[in-house]
Amino acid sequence: MTIITISLPSTNPSIFFPSYPKPFKFNPKCSSQLTPTPSSLPKTGVIIIGAGLAGLAAATHLNSQNIPFVLLESSNAVGGRVRTDIVDGFLLDRGFQIFITAYPEAQKLLNYQSLNLQKFYSGAKIFYNGQFHTVADPLRHFFDSAKSLTNPIGSVFDKLLIGTTRIGVLTKSDEQILTAEEIPTIDLLKKLGFSDSIIGRFFRPFFGGIFFDPELETTSRLFDFIFKCLALGENTLPAKGISAIPEQLAARLPSDSILLNTKAVSVDFDDSNPPRVRLQNGDVLSGELGVIVAVEEPALVKLLPGKKNPVFKKPVRSTVCLYFTANPDEIPVRDPVLFLNGSGQGIVNNMFFVTNVAPSYAPPNKALISVSLIGLFEDVSEDELVLKVIQELSGWFGDKMVKEWKHLRTYRIEYAQPNQCPPTNLKKNPTIEQGLYLCGDYLTSATFDGALVSGRRAAESLLNDRAFFG
């Protein structure tokens, strides 16, 4: 076994850890990735495992306090669930993801201007009873919204109720929302007085698509939080793909601080030593300042068996996203709008013409189409899924047009989000023991913002424990 002791090259670690007075030591026999020349040696005291948004946020906070760290990522790039593949010149996000500009933590961490955010229409077109009906945000698209008052996507009362619900969430702080009394979203909507028709035709496909939960059993806390963010911000995509978000965070970190293709297999911890991280190749890293485990919840159970009680009491949320391409004259609209299935039939939940929102997602003179399903459809082959989707969307847009679409790729994402049905605690304590911390969306809200918040909280807890503050 090779043990690499990681500590502060320029600072005496015993200042912070009288009980861990090990000298700085680097064993050159470790893996090629972990045998950099002395000049490229990661200057680190903290080991962060997982370079999704949570791990990147933790790293960003440590970096801002000049605390050295190393960020280990098992895959070949940063981002975790927020990744974009480039396929024949198309940008394919791994699953349909929207960045809401009003996410409060994201506002603090990201430079929106350089993300070159491309906006969706603030509303949706809903397929119901063989036709499309618009639901629009009255503050952004007043005339569309007024025209939609009498459409069959709910009553006039329902549409006014959306306005009062909006005022209700805007008067609460995020803290109040995330710690409020909770019930399932479906119960909240009924309690507020929404009719079955607007619930089935709008809320179910829209929020069911956000939570990957068509039953709308997800906590009302998450509904209120997202509803508030939607009221305050725009739905967007970065021009270079959703992975531009984690890439921006990673680009600000020291270049030698992120080790890709580096999988941690266990974290060992006892009272007398700093936590040790064992890598798949047999190497062991020892972090003088602690370890932050920023992996997704299913991976956590493997890394820390026994440290963390079983977490899968409720089924995780899954989704399938299929991409198609077409010539620009083979798509029916130019609007950057989300289409929802309000019919209560079929397997498509939502779809949109990606290049109408962000033309940069496809090569010139090509359109990109994204179609999302909720669930994993593990018993249905890819060919069958493609066929079913094409048949269903032929009923929406006409056979002549849709049969020209060419399938590009299918993403089946088993673990898209943790299940956040009540009872939830969206402010879980990141500390397992002093020196060992957790972050990830399962500790907060299953959103980009929740993951970023959790990363900050883990870093703050570590720094507090180590008395770096004050």
Ligand X SMILES: Cc1cc2nc3c(=O)[nH]c(=O)nc-3n(C[C@H](O)[C@H](O)[C@H](O)COP(=O)(O)OP(=O)(O)OC[C@H]3O[C@@H](n4cnc5c(N)ncnc54)[C@H](O)[C@@H]3O)c2cc1C
Q: Which of these ranges, 51-59, 169-177, 343-351, 424-432, lies near ligand X under the rule CB under 6 A?
A: 51-59
342 near ligand X, judged by CB under 6 A: no
Give the CA dihedral 58, 288, 299, 270, nearest 10 degrees: -140
Residue 26 phi/psi, 5° resolution? -135, 125
Among 348, 416, 421, 438, binds ligand X (CB under 6 A): 416
- We find the least distance from the C-beta atom of residue 376 to ligand X, in angstroms, to be 12
Q: Please name the residues in contact with 411: beta carbons below 8 A apart, sequence gap of 6 or more.
A: 92, 94, 95, 320, 321, 322, 323
451 near ligand X, judged by CB under 6 A: yes
Q: Which of these ranges, 29-37, 179-187, 305-313, 412-420, lies near ligand X under the rule CB under 6 A?
A: 412-420
- We find the least distance from the C-beta atom of residue 197 to ligand X, in angstroms, to be 26
- We find the least distance from the C-beta atom of residue 229 to ligand X, in angstroms, to be 9
Residues 91-110 touching ligand X, rule: CB under 6 A, are 95-98
444 near ligand X, judged by CB under 6 A: no
- We find the least distance from the C-beta atom of residue 265 to ligand X, in angstroms, to be 6
For 152, the token pair is 């069959």
357 near ligand X, judged by CB under 6 A: no
Q: In this structure, are residues 231 and 172 in contact, taking their beta carbons and an 8 Å threshold? A: no
Nearer to ligand X, 59 or 82 (CB): 82
3-state secondary structure (DSSP) of residue 162: helix
CB count within 10 Å of CB 292 equals 30
52 near ligand X, judged by CB under 6 A: yes
Q: Kind of pairing, strands 406-417 and 235-238?
A: unpaired
For 410, the token pair is 């299918």
Considering CB under 6 A, how many residues would be counted as binding ligand X?
35
CB count within 10 Å of CB 268 equals 13
Residues 301-340 touching ligand X, rule: CB under 6 A, are 303, 319
- We find the least distance from the C-beta atom of residue 154 to ligand X, in angstroms, to be 24
3-state secondary structure (DSSP) of residue 49: strand
Positive or negative, the Cα torsion across 226, 232, 237, 243?
negative
209 near ligand X, judged by CB under 6 A: no
Q: Helices in 75-151 by DSSP H: which ranges?
A: 104-109, 112-115, 142-147
Which positions touch ligand X (CB under 6 A)? 49-55, 72-75, 80-82, 95-98, 263-264, 294-296, 299, 303, 319, 413, 416-417, 440-441, 446-448, 451
